[in-house]
Structure 1
Amino acid sequence: MVENLHRDYGDFKLDIDSWEILDEGVTVLWGPSGSGKTSVFRILLGLESCPGFKWTYQGTDLAKLKTPDRHLGVVFQTLDLFPHLSAEENLMFAARARKVDPAKANARLKELSSILKMESFLQRPAAVLSGGEKQRVAIARALMGEPRLLLLDEPFSALDQELRDESRKLVKSVIETEKIPTLLVTHDQRDVEILGNKVTTIRNGRLA
């Protein structure tokens, strides 16, 4: 349960008293550009301050924890891979950052490579991967440390139209296989139709 998401940006106010993010499945935060989705996302991650904000998840107030200690898997719209590292090196870097035991990290790498069909490009630098391949690496990287929740920010927006539905179905199957609660932030109605278990609409900083 998220409570007291109130922040005044001067020209824009975020004004959310309470909002439930599901403990399983996909909660979608849907709304047009400028509605406040990105502000909510950044506050949940701890990238922006929000005095009085609470986020209770399985008995823990995540809002009181520093960003790394919130233990969230995150995929930004820009994907943010290290271009000079291979797909595998990107994943193992994330595992080290999360202090995952090396043996467990290797097992996790094999598991996620299989689920996300990445075996054919694991050794290629991220810079030369296609948009769909980069997206799969970014999702696998977010899952390497077995996070509490997965947070996706417009994860399909950079893909060509024909790739989007395929990617949505793949992400949906990964979320179901991993049984990881997920927050998807999007302005795309198709994301809502394919992935959403619960949909919350945001307009002008308020939940509709």
Structure 2
Amino acid sequence: MSYVENLRRDYGDFKLDIPHWEILDQGVTVLWGPSGSGKTSIFRILLGLETCPGMKWEFQGVDLAKLKTPERRLGVVFQTLDLFPHLSAKENVLFAARARKVDESKVARRMKELTAKMQMDSFLDRKASVLSGGEKQRVAIARALIGEPRLLLLDEPFSALDQELREESRRLVKAVIADEKIPALVVTHDHRDVEVMANKVSNIRNGQIEV
């Protein structure tokens, strides 16, 4: 388990109050709750994009809360995906490898592995600006994984896809997470994400985790 303690933040009109929360260090933990419950704030705090004095996040003997954002080595897929539109799918992933300082000797092998796992062969050399929503999502996940992160964080990862694509994407992402043997935190308001993805569910409501 990964342990988050004292995740407390007062926004004035809204408060996060999470004294203790456990995130799996294998499989998928889903943080599920309605809009406005505090999910996005938690996501940003875990990434280090918002401060949370007093918080502790112990992951395999390391307190991630004490580290700066790049040092936390988290693979992140935002809801907006945030690909570089002028770069190809392959170039987007390789850009992340360089930014994360992945050993050059590993990059080609990992690129080949992730291309196969994420089923990207057919659009690898196409610019991100012309990719479909499902294709962009696959590139974003490959980009997050190539940096060999400690943990994968996904924010509403299927919300931009139509219903049919969502089911296909859920199954693919769950399989890739299992194959990569990387723990993942999925933040969502969609109960279907819980049903398909979750090995553990944490319900959040009004800034507090109920389970």
Question: Letter of the aligned partner of 1:197 in structure 2?
Answer: N
SS at 1:20 equivalent: strand
Count residues with an aligned counterpart. Answer: 208
1:150 maps to 2:152: yes
4+ long deviations beyond 3 Å: none
Q: Distance in 2 between matches of 1:19 and 1:145?
A: 26
Task: Please provide the CA RMSD for this pair.
Answer: 0.5
* CA deviation profile, 1:10-39 (whole Å, cap 9, x unmatched): 010000000000010000100000000000
Q: 5+ residue gaps in structure 1? A: none
- State the alpha-carbon separation in 1 of the partners of residues 209 and 96 from structure 2: 34
Q: Aligned equivalents of 2:195 and 2:84: distance in 1?
A: 32
Measure the CA separation in 1 of the matches of 2:105 and 2:94: 11
Structure 1: distance between partners of 2:7 and 2:165: 35
Within a 5 Å distance, the mapping from 1:1-208 to structure 2 comes to 1-208=3-210
How far apart are the structure 2 equivalents of 1:71 and 1:128?
30
Q: Secondary structure at the residue paired with 1:27?
A: strand
Distance across 1 between alignment mates of 2:51 and 2:208? 18
By how many angstroms is 1:102 displaced?
2.1
**1:171 shift after superposition:** 0.1
Cα deviations by residue, 1:69-103 (Å, 9 ceiling, x for unpaired): 00000000000000000000000000000101223
TM-score for the superposition, normalised by structure 1: 0.99
Q: Distance in 2 between matches of 1:87 and 1:7?
A: 37
Look up the equivalent residue of 1:34 and give its one-letter code.
G
Residue type at the aligned position of 1:88: K
TM-score for both structures, normalised by structure 2: 0.98
Unaligned stretches of 5+ in structure 2? none
CA distance in 2: counterparts of 1:32 and 1:67, whole angstroms: 27
